[in-house]
Amino acid sequence: MVAIGYLAKMVLGDGGPVVDGLSCLPAAGLSVQIGAGCFAEPGIVDSAPYGSLPPDGDPLVKIGINSSPTFLSVPGAGQWSVFATLVEAQAGSASISYYNAANPLQTLIGAQGNGQPQATVVQQRVGLQIGAATAAPVGAIRLWSITVPTGATSIDGSMISPVPQAPFLAVKLPFAAPLTSPAFNGVPTAPTASPGDASATLATTGFVAAANARNRAAWGASGTHSWVCPPGVSTILARLWAAGGQGGSAASGYAGGGGGGGGYEEVLLSVTAGTTYSIQVGSGSGGSPASSFDILASVSGGVAGGTANANGPGSGGAAGSSSSTGFNIVAALGVASGTSGFQIGGTSVGGAGGPSFGVAGGQAAFGRAIGFDGVWPGGGGGGGSVGAGGKGADGLVVIEWNG
């Protein structure tokens, strides 16, 4: 018993009970069959004295073994559980011969020389019983749950289910992976961690695919919008175009100046999952020309081109700019001011609108009454050569993230 107990401890550990086998199947009528199996749990060698032998409190993993099925009756309708305990008892009966040291010629039969039989083995078995789930016997472990509907006269498989916490042995030793650099065969699987998990948990292909997925959101209509940061996302790439400035109007025979290009910014931002962020997209035809991502990043709109007057043509409007600074900022690429209106001979020419990143402003208006509109997003409106200046293009906010 001690040798097998130490072997069990070496293989199974001594953290708690372990069950192997002891299946539960329907039997005749309201009864179930518990299959052969074993129940191992930590204990000690012997808690009580035996004759003149004292107790032995050495730690040990004890194993109860049932080598044949056990049949249990189910009381009736209701919710029942199958409980298991380790039962250890003296068993066997024989009259054993003893050597009499005081008289070697005499043989004593029985421990007291009275010829009475005595126990010859220590049996360790799995005690099984059925009871209410809320009334577990002392030291017992719940293995199976049995739900019997009202009026049922027999048990079927749908009424039987393992208890979720039951300590059934999940993996046999030949199928367990080594701890150091295991070489798995087949298609090994593992639970997929939650998005953003940065622990030592294994990363499945599903987790990696989700983490590397490129996501994008964009807002191109002027006004206020919102975005909720998804689970597991901590950094985004934000690209912001402000609105372009409106072109200046012509007057007194002179052309208006072009509006400035809307400011541009590309920046990495730290965000918090579950937080709602406000997005502002600039308007090129009235209202706020600035674009922003909450309070973390913003760009100003292009300045409107100057209106011509009796003193001469309108001047070009200044370009918008970024409010952020630092090494993770890319700003002002391709962004420029509008040009002033001018004259060629007797022809008024409206100033060209300033460009923003990736787009042009409204082109110069040669003899055209109304200035050209800026190209979206963020292009400044061209100045009018005779009439009103062109509209500045609205802004744009684009964010991208992995996961």
Say what the pTM is.
0.59
Buried (b) or exposed (e) across 83-96, using 16+ Cβ within 10 A? bbbbebeeeeeeee
Judge whether 200 lies within some domain: no
Q: Which of 141, 172, 203 is the last residue of a domain?
A: 172
Task: Print the domain residue range for 324.
Answer: 211-403
Judge whether 192 lies within some domain: no
Q: Calculate ∠ Cα 76-73-170, nearest 5°.
A: 105
Judge whether 206 lies within some domain: no
- pLDDT, one tens digit per residue, over 296-346 is 999 999 999 999 999 999 999 999 999 876 667 888 889 999 999 999 888
Cα distance between residue 192 and residue 206, in whole Å: 7
Q: How many domains does the chain have?
A: 2
Q: Are residues 243 and 111 in the same domain?
A: no
Q: Are residues 238 and 103 in the same domain?
A: no
Judge whether 204 lies within some domain: no
Q: Are residues 309 and 401 in the same domain?
A: yes
Q: Which of 147, 172, 197 is the last residue of a domain?
A: 172
User: Is the distance from CB of 228 to CB of 324 less than 8 angstroms?
Assistant: no
Q: Are residues 129 and 236 in the same domain?
A: no
Judge whether 194 lies within some domain: no
Judge whether 283 lies within some domain: yes
Q: Which of 124, 148, 172 is the last residue of a domain?
A: 172
Q: Are residues 263 and 145 in the same domain?
A: no
pLDDT value of position 138: 86
Structure tokens at 132: 């209410």
Judge whether 62 lies within some domain: yes
Q: Are residues 33 and 144 in the same domain?
A: yes
Q: Are residues 311 and 385 in the same domain?
A: yes
Strand 396-402 with 214-219, pairing: antiparallel
Q: Are residues 280 and 399 in the same domain?
A: yes
pLDDT value of position 49: 86
Q: Are residues 119 and 223 in the same domain?
A: no
pLDDT value of position 325: 67
Q: Could you read off the pLDDT tens digit of each residue along the chain, which spans 403 residues?
A: 889 889 988 888 888 899 999 999 999 999 999 999 999 999 898 888 877 789 999 998 999 999 999 999 999 999 999 999 999 888 888 988 888 888 888 888 887 788 889 888 888 999 999 999 888 888 899 999 999 999 999 999 999 999 998 999 888 877 777 778 877 788 888 899 888 787 888 889 888 888 888 899 999 999 999 999 998 899 999 999 999 999 999 998 899 999 999 999 999 999 999 999 999 999 998 889 999 999 999 999 999 999 999 999 999 999 999 987 666 788 888 999 999 999 988 889 999 999 999 999 999 998 778 999 999 999 999 999 989 999 999 999 999 998 7
Q: Are residues 6 and 64 in the same domain?
A: yes
Judge whether 181 lies within some domain: no
Q: Are residues 143 and 265 in the same domain?
A: no
Q: Are residues 230 and 374 in the same domain?
A: yes
